[in-house]
Amino acid sequence: MTEPSKGKTVLIPRMISTTEDDDKKIPFMVKSKQFPVMPAIAMTINKAQGQLIDHVGVYLEQPVFTHDQLYVALSRVTSRKAIKIAADPEAIDEDGRVQCWRSVESTT
């Protein structure tokens, strides 16, 4: 979830949909209420390793640690068209490539 609702509990309104038949081919109107959500599964890049997945969404809140991690995340999908990437604009360089951390600072 993005700002300003990040980290907060939010209410999801129910969507109401009705059928409208201008030609009057059906003798009734259908009205339904439902939540606009789809079931999904989330997993880490490490857990996805070795699996084939039909649709992949990669959430890159910050740059990935290594190119290998990004390769694993993007190579799990069976089709390029089934990849969706959500990334912080700062995690993508001028050429449209995802940045990786270049160095790790020592904590000792």
pLDDT in tens, 24-41: 666 667 777 777 777 778
Residue 74: its pLDDT value, please? Answer: 85
Lowest-pLDDT choice from 2-6, 67-71, 98-102: 98-102
- State how beta strands 31-34 and 56-60 pair: unpaired
For the cut 50, the answer to whether the pLDDT of residue 107 exceeds it is no
Q: Where are the alpha helices (DSSP H) in 1-108?
A: 45-48, 67-75
Total-model pTM: 0.47
Checking phi first, is residue 102 left (phi over 0); if not, alpha (psi -120 to 50) or beta? alpha
Residue 22: its pLDDT value, please? Answer: 62
pLDDT tens per residue, range 43-99: 888 888 888 989 888 887 776 777 788 888 888 888 888 888 887 777 677 777 766
CA atoms of 71 and 69, how far apart (whole Å): 5
